[in-house]
Each structure stands twice: as structure tokens, then as C-alpha cells.
């Protein structure tokens, strides 16, 4: 039973990575930039819930909605202020700006909330799932996390494939100039992408803090980087890839912690990334673009 | 007069369809377009010819808002579009078939065509236009579920043209439609441009293949390092000694 328990908690952690990775991969896929501040949006999302639910006594669900709304606005503002002026600049300049935004958010949180960890109260108040006469207990937050990430992944896939704005995103991701010639508002489409990615980050933040209830200004940093690894692992730009990459990463990390060494777990995770990239540089589900010239 | 297709519903204009006045474009400190002026009347086929680097593509990109000019004005059907964001120009009735075709390789042929109708709302009308595009390009219908990236160069050119027609433009800008195509496809493409023009759409054509371009154009402008060096009726230019020598290889 302990293997099953480790596996399940790995899937739970992986689902959080998957949610974050979905945001990474959407933004990368469409704007062709790595938004390294994405992890810190998670942390902001966590603090918003902390303030509204633990501080102001709001209903947890309402707190989550407020947090998602706040992060959506934050994501759009970051895009407008920090990234849009650099459209057309070298990718390196954009990357460095993203790192700068990341530190900015961390330090704003540091200034506002201090560095000591805040005890985050679990917002998922459903009863736990007990299987095999209580030998295997699955926490309700785990069930919710996995369910949310699956729903979000399917929802996003349908959104991109079936809606007009989704197809506009695909067009923008391939060729911004040609997309504009179709009458697509490229900047608007990228802003929508940031809005979606950031609202997912807020959701991920809430679930992450519910499962690991300690919130500091650096809470989002490591999961952010790991989710980035997950996105690359699954094939950056691919929505199902980000999901699978996230789940796999969480499972590998948790099983390594349980059976090999908890100190080495991260090293193992990153080694696997290196191996995957050596064998299949596009990631597990990365697209091999075939094009006749 | 009502143009039957695809710019249907447009009344006769009492002004040039497109008017470019003293246009200047810079890339950094380099001036690529040094004050050009030209007009396109409704129903005309106008050719912009010139050597590589003369500024033909830059001119088209500036008209459709991909590049911002540093001076001058662009009027489309009398409206100043010099500062209009590019995506707002398409619904006004201008479409641009870009150089190198730039179809969306990862979308199907049908999805590419539907991207062309992105700014249109009426589903029945879009379906009608799609049927007309398929009629003009039967090959696109045969391949509608295929990824655009797997089409041959000539087919991609047809797709790019069909995609532009999906917005039902009254003016269509075409940038080097014959580039990189086999002679058979080149003839086919020029036949299609002629048909598009006959059905009432005004055409502004940029071509390095000056002979072909002049053969279907009403009037032409010769662009030389960012300036218009010659302008006139296509027949006249075809017989102009300087043009013959520089662009027609005679």
C-alpha cells in the first residue's frame, strides 16, 4: 500500500505541476517566450487566497475566484508593461525581463507579507477518501487537484481547437505577421493567452498551498521551474504534453523521494529532463513540423 | 455597378481606391522608401515592378500595417489608414497575399481558408464565399483536410490567394505570387489573378517577373531603390527601352 500512496501523492503533486506547465506552455506556444515570472504569479495567487479567506474570512470558493481574477489582471498587466514593448526584441532581452519580473513579484510579496511562512488553511474541506478499510487514504485535496488539472487540460485543448479565438492563437503561434493579415489582433490574442495562463497559475497556487500549507514569497519559484521542466519534458507548446509531463515529473519526484533519496530527488528529476532532451529534443509530444518548401 | 465577387456590394468610388502620398519608411537609420506616391483606381490591376531590394515588399507591408511609415499618408477608399492597426484594415476590404505565401503549416487547408474569413460574422455568407473559392481552386477542395505544410509550392500559393479572397476584399495586394513556382504554375497563377480582377476585385501586384506582371496589368510603377523611377500604362512600359533593358531581359 505504501507504493500506491507514494504514487498517488506523486500524481497529486504532478497535477499541480501540470496546471502550472499548462500556463507555461500556452504562453510559450503562442507568444514564443518563456515567462519565468509564471511561478511567482502562483505565489501571488496563494497570498490573495490567504488574505481573503484566512484574513477576511471569505468563503474559500469566493477567495479562489478573487484570486484567479486578480492573477488574470496581473498577468495581463505584466504582459502589457514588461513584455509587449519588447515584441520583436531579441529573445534574450525578453527572457531577462521575465527573470526581472519574477524577482520584482517576489520582493513585492516580501515587502507586503514578510519572509516568515504563512500557515495556509486548506481550502478543500471535503472528506478524505478511504480505501481498503482505511489502509489507503486519499486526501480530498488530492482528488480535487487531479480532477481540476484533467478538466483544465481537456478544456484548454477544446478551447484551442474549437473556438475562433483558439484558432487565432494557433495562427499567431505560427506566424504573427500572417495572423495580422487575417485581421487577427495579435496583441489582444497574446493578452488573452496571458490571462488564461495566469488564472491557471492562481488555481495551481491555491491547490499547491492547500497540499503543502506553507506560503512564503518564494513558494512559487521552485514549482515554477519544475513545471517549466515538465512543459519541456512533455514537448513545450503542446497542451497534452504539459499535462503528461507534469504528472510524470510529480510521480518521478515522489517515488525518488520515497525509494532513492529525498536529497537526490530533484537531481534525478533534472537528470531525466537532460536524458529526454538528448534522446528526443522536442520532448515527449513535441511537434515535428513538417513543411515542404 | 455592383461587383459580383468577391468584393460584392461595393459601390463605384468617386476617388482612387488606394492613394499613397509621399510615403517614407525607415529601417533604423536606413531609408527604404524615399517618398513615393501612387494611386490605384477601382477595378485596375496595378503592377509594382523593380529589382530585389527596391522596396516593393516594404511598400505593401506599410500599406497593410505590418510596418509603420515614418512619413506620408495612405488613403483607402478615401479613409486615412496610415496609423490604423493592421488587423483593422482587413475588415475594411483589403487583403494581402504575402511574399513566401505564409500559409499556416500546422492548420488544415480548410482551417487556413477559414482564418481568411476571421473578421467576418455571417456564417452563410462565409460558406458561400468558401464554395466560390473551391470553384476557383478545385485542388484546395480536394485537399481541404490536409495540413497546409504538406502542399506543394504552387498549391500553397493557391491557398494563400484563396485565404485572402475569403475576406471578400475589394482590393487585394499580391506579393511575388510567381516566386519559386514552376512555369506551368506561374501561368496558372497569372490566369487566376486575371480572373480575380475580372470578377471586380482591384489588384495591386508586386512582381519580379516584370514581363508577366506587365502582361496582365493596366498600369505599372517601376520602383528603384525606394523611389518611383517610371510610371505609365503597362503597354507603354513594355515597349520602353529602359524597362526592356533593365527588367525584361531584352
Mean pLDDT by groups of 10 residues along chain A of 293 residues: 86 93 90 90 93 87 94 96 90 93 95 87 74 77 90 93 90 93 95 94 90 88 90 89 93 92 88 87 72 43
Closest CA to A228 of A27, A12, A47, A10: A27
Residue bearing cell 503528461: A244
pLDDT of residue B106: 86
Contact A182 B119 (CB under 8 A): yes
Chain B residues close to A171, C-beta within 8 Å: 104, 107, 115
Using 50, 70 and 90 to split pLDDT, how confident is the model at B155? very high
Chain A residues close to B118, C-beta within 8 Å: 164, 168, 182-184
Instruction: Report residue A61 as a C-alpha cell.
Output: 470558493
Instruction: Report residue B31 as a C-alpha cell.
Output: 531609408
pLDDT of residue A290: 47
Q: What percent of chain B has pLDDT over 70?
A: 95
Residue A184: cis peptide before it, omega within 30 degrees of 0: no
Residue bearing cell 514588461: A82
- B173 contacts B40 by C-beta, under 8 angstroms: no
Residue bearing cell 505584466: A78
Instruction: Report residue B178 as a C-alpha cell.
Output: 510567381
Whether B30 shows a pLDDT value over 50: the answer reads yes
Q: What percent of chain A has pLDDT over 90?
A: 55
In angstroms, the CA B172 to CA A86 distance is 31
Contact A175 B104 (CB under 8 A): yes
Which residue in A has a C-alpha nearest to residue B117's C-alpha?
A182
Instruction: Provide Rg for chain A, Cα atoms.
Output: 19
Distance, in angstroms, between A96 CA and closest chain B CA?
24
Residue A155: its H or E element: helix A140-162
In angstroms, the CA A246 to CA A149 distance is 10
In angstroms, the CA A12 to CA A21 distance is 14
Question: Would you call A286 helix, strand, or coil by DSSP?
Answer: coil
Residues of B with CB under 8 A from a CB of A: 64-66, 85-91, 95-96, 98, 102-107, 111, 114-116, 118-119, 147, 149-153, 156, 163-164, 167
Which parts of A53-139 fold into alpha helices (H)? 60-78, 91-113
Q: Does A291 touch chain B (CB under 8 A)?
A: yes
Residue A145: its H or E element: helix A140-162
pLDDT of residue B3: 41
Domains for chain A: give ranges and CATH numbers.
2-279 (1.10.3470)
Which parts of chain A fold into alpha helices (H)? 2-31, 38-49, 60-78, 91-113, 140-162, 164-174, 176-181, 186-211, 221-234, 239-259, 265-279
Closest CA to A242 of A5, A14, A2, A21: A21
Residue B79: its H or E element: strand B79-80
Beta-carbon neighbour count of residue A151 at 10 Å? 10
In angstroms, the CA B90 to CA B117 distance is 10
Answer whether 0.90 is exceeded by the pTM. no
Amino acid at each position: 500500500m505504501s507504493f500506491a500512496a507514494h504514487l498517488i501523492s506523486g500524481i497529486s503533486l504532478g497535477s499541480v505541476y501540470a496546471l502550472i506547465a499548462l500556463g507555461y506552455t500556452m504562453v510559450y506556444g503562442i507568444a514564443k517566450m518563456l515567462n519565468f515570472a509564471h511561478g511567482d504569479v502562483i505565489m501571488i495567487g496563494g497570498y490573495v487566497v490567504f488574505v481573503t479567506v484566512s484574513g477576511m474570512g471569505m468563503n474559500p470558493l469566493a477567495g479562489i475566484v478573487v484570486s484567479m481574477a486578480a492573477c488574470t489582471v496581473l498577468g495581463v498587466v505584466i504582459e502589457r508593461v514588461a513584455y509587449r514593448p519588447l515584441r520583436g526584441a531579441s529573445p534574450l532581452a525578453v527572457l531577462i525581463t521575465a527573470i526581472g519580473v519574477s524577482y520584482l513579484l517576489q520582493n513585492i510579496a516580501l515587502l507586503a507579507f514578510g519572509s516568515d511562512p504563512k500557515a495556509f488553511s486548506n481550502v478543500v474541506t471535503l472528506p478524505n477518501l478511504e480505501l481498503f478499510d482505511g489502509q489507503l487514504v486519499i486526501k480530498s485535496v488530492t482528488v480535487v487537484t487531479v480532477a481540476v488539472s484533467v478538466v483544465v487540460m481537456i478544456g484548454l485543448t477544446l478551447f484551442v481547437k474549437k473556438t475562433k479565438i483558439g484558432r487565432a492563437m494557433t495562427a499567431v503561434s505560427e506566424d504573427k505577421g500572417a495572423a495580422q493579415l487575417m485581421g487577427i489582433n495579435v496583441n489582444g490574442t497574446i493578452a488573452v493567452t496571458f490571462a488564461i495562463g495566469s488564472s491557471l497559475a492562481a488555481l495551481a497556487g491555491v491547490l499547491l498551498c492547500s497540499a503543502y500549507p506553507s506560503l512564503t514569497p518564494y513558494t512559487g519559484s521552485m514549482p515554477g521551474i519544475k513545471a517549466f521542466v515538465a512543459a519541456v519534458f512533455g514537448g513545450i507548446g503542446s497542451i497534452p504534453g504539459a499535462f503528461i509531463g507534469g504528472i510524470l515529473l510529480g510521480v518521478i519526484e515522489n517515488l525518488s523521494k520515497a525509494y532513492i533519496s529525498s536529497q537526490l530527488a530533484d537531481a534525478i528529476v533534472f537528470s531525466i529532463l537532460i536524458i529526454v532532451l538528448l534522446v528526443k529534443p522536442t520532448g515527449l509530444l513535441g511537434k515535428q513540423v513538417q513543411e515542404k518548401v | 455597378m455592383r461587383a459580383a465577387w468577391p468584393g460584392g456590394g461595393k459601390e463605384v468610388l468617386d476617388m482612387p481606391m488606394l492613394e499613397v502620398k509621399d510615403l517614407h519608411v525607415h529601417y533604423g537609420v536606413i531609408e527604404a522608401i524615399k517618398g513615393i506616391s501612387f494611386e490605384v483606381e477601382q477595378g485596375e490591376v496595378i503592377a509594382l515592378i523593380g529589382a530585389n531590394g527596391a522596396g516593393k515588399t516594404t511598400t505593401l507591408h506599410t500599406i497593410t500595417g505590418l510596418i509603420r511609415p515614418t512619413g506620408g499618408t495612405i488613403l483607402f477608399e478615401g479613409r486615412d489608414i496610415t496609423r490604423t492597426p493592421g488587423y483593422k484594415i482587413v475588415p475594411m476590404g483589403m487583403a494581402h497575399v504575402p511574399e513566401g505565401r505564409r500559409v499556416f503549416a500546422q492548420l488544415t487547408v480548410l482551417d487556413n481558408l477559414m482564418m481568411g474569413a476571421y473578421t467576418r460574422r455571417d456564417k452563410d455568407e462565409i460558406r458561400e464565399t468558401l464554395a466560390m473559392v473551391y470553384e476557383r481552386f478545385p485542388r484546395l477542395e480536394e485537399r481541404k483536410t490536409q495540413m497546409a505544410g504538406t502542399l506543394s509550392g504552387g498549391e500553397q500559393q493557391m491557398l494563400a490567394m484563396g485565404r485572402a479572397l475569403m475576406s471578400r476584399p475589394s482590393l487585394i495586394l499580391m506579393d511575388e505570387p510567381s516566386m519559386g513556382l514552376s512555369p506551368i504554375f506561374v501561368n496558372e497563377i497569372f490566369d487566376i489573378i486575371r480572373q480575380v480582377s475580372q470578377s471586380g476585385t482591384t489588384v495591386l501586384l508586386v512582381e519580379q517577373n516584370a514581363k508577366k506582371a506587365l502582361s496582365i496589368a493596366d498600369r505599372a510603377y517601376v520602383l528603384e531603390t525606394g523611389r518611383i523611377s517610371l510610371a505609365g500604362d503597362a503597354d507603354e512600359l513594355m515597349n520602353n527601352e529602359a524597362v526592356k533593358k533593365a527588367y525584361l531581359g531584352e
